[in-house]
Structure 1
């Protein structure tokens, strides 16, 4: 039997919650989700009901590589690239060429940025068949 799933959220351990919230809110454009509870956790809506949970804690043992990344798709790819360019946020293609937009083997554009803790985020214009 094959189950159907959908992504609910991604959780990242961060070293400075306020700095990370500012990045995901101001650079990525994610909307904070009001919530009661722990002062060391923040939730932000990515879109379409998906969310990112940022959890402040001891980041010391965290190992970050580009191969372990979060991928976000946007229909406004060119506008996003212009936005981060205006903010002075560096980006690369997959091989690591600064300021270069990559082309995935399946034909969609993609770039990679890093958040304040070094997590890699792929931003692309991938539109699977049937996507709006």
Structure 2
């Protein structure tokens, strides 16, 4: 029998400035910042939304083991939302967060999506998307 995966527990972003990253994802995208104590007793930070979690590693002080080339700005992330893209555009404009591209239609994992592209403080590409119901 071929083993199969069932889901994604968390992913890790390597960041240059922890406070700027937390502010962007908390205020801009509505994620919850949470400090947690890891198994070795160190205090770390994560961003939570829905049933998902993004652990944050500060460049130069990454938690081991880490990616071979842990680099701020190397991620390309797509997040789904039930909030209309037009509402996202208005929200991001109020915060002064520029939209790099969109709204544009894309192919999502489960269905077509309508997306906005922006960048976080490290330059990671962040896509905010609505599923397009057929």
| CA RMSD after TM alignment | 2.7
Q: Give 1:25-44 correspondences, 5 Å limit.
A: 25-36=26-37, 37-39=41-43, 41-44=44-47
Q: Which runs of 4+ in 1 moved over 6 A?
A: none
Which residue in 2 is equivalent to 1:62? 71
Residues 16 and 3 (structure 1), Cα distance of their counterparts in 2 relative to 1, 3 Å cut? same
Report the secondary structure of 1:108's partner residue: strand
Residues 38 and 122 (structure 1), Cα distance of their counterparts in 2 relative to 1, 3 Å cut? same
TM-score, structure 1 as length reference = 0.75
Which residue in 2 is equivalent to 1:97? none
Counterpart CA distance in 1 for 2:133 and 2:73 is 28
Which residue in 2 is equivalent to 1:81? 89
Structure holding more strand per residue: 2
Residues 72 and 19 (structure 1), Cα distance of their counterparts in 2 relative to 1, 3 Å cut? same
Report the secondary structure of 2:77's partner residue: strand
Counterpart CA distance in 1 for 2:133 and 2:5 is 17
Q: Is the 8 A contact 1:76 1:125 kept in 2?
A: yes
Residues 61 and 108 (structure 1), Cα distance of their counterparts in 2 relative to 1, 3 Å cut? closer
Gaps of 5+ in 2: 62-68
Q: Is the 8 A contact 2:59 2:71 kept in 1?
A: no
Residues 35 and 89 (structure 1), Cα distance of their counterparts in 2 relative to 1, 3 Å cut? same
Report the secondary structure of 2:126's partner residue: strand
Gaps of 5+ in 1: 94-99
Counterpart CA distance in 1 for 2:10 and 2:89 is 24
Q: Number of residues paired by the alignment? A: 119
TM-score, structure 2 as length reference = 0.74
Counterpart CA distance in 1 for 2:132 and 2:31 is 20
